[in-house]
Amino acid sequence: MLCFPLLVDQTINSRCVSEQWRIGVGVDGTCDRFIIEKMVKDVLENRIEGLRNSVDEIAKQARDSVKETGSSSHNIESMIKDIMSIKG
């Protein structure tokens, strides 16, 4: 994924995608079709394995979080208990 932020929250989204999650590449500054072409080739020829590995890791974390013992299940149960305790 190439990220070319233009407005408001897109800069933060671009940083998350490229730096934190490592599933894309940020495009900084102005660019033309030749820069985009060069970046696409770079991703497809040099970075694709690293990006795929990052995507696979995030997918595994997402699957693990929704298992019965995962963080999402635990957090939902905790929220339900909190709501029930308020209701009385």
Q: Which amino acid is at 4?
A: F
Percentage of the chain lying above the pLDDT 90 cut: 85
Percentage of the chain lying above the pLDDT 70 cut: 99
**Average pLDDT of the chain?**
93
pLDDT score at 31: 84
pLDDT score at 9: 92
> How confident is the model over 17-37, as pLDDT tens digits?
999 999 999 998 888 899 999
Which uninterrupted H or E stretch holds 17? none
45 falls in which pLDDT band (50, 70, 90)? very high
Rounded to whole angstroms, how far apart are CA atoms 80 and 88?
A: 12
pLDDT score at 88: 62
> 7 — phi, psi (to 5°)?
-125, 155
Give 62-81 as a DSSP string: HHHHTSTTSHHHHHHHHHHH
CATH annotation of 2-87: 3.40.50.2000
What are the boundaries of each domain within the chain? 2-87
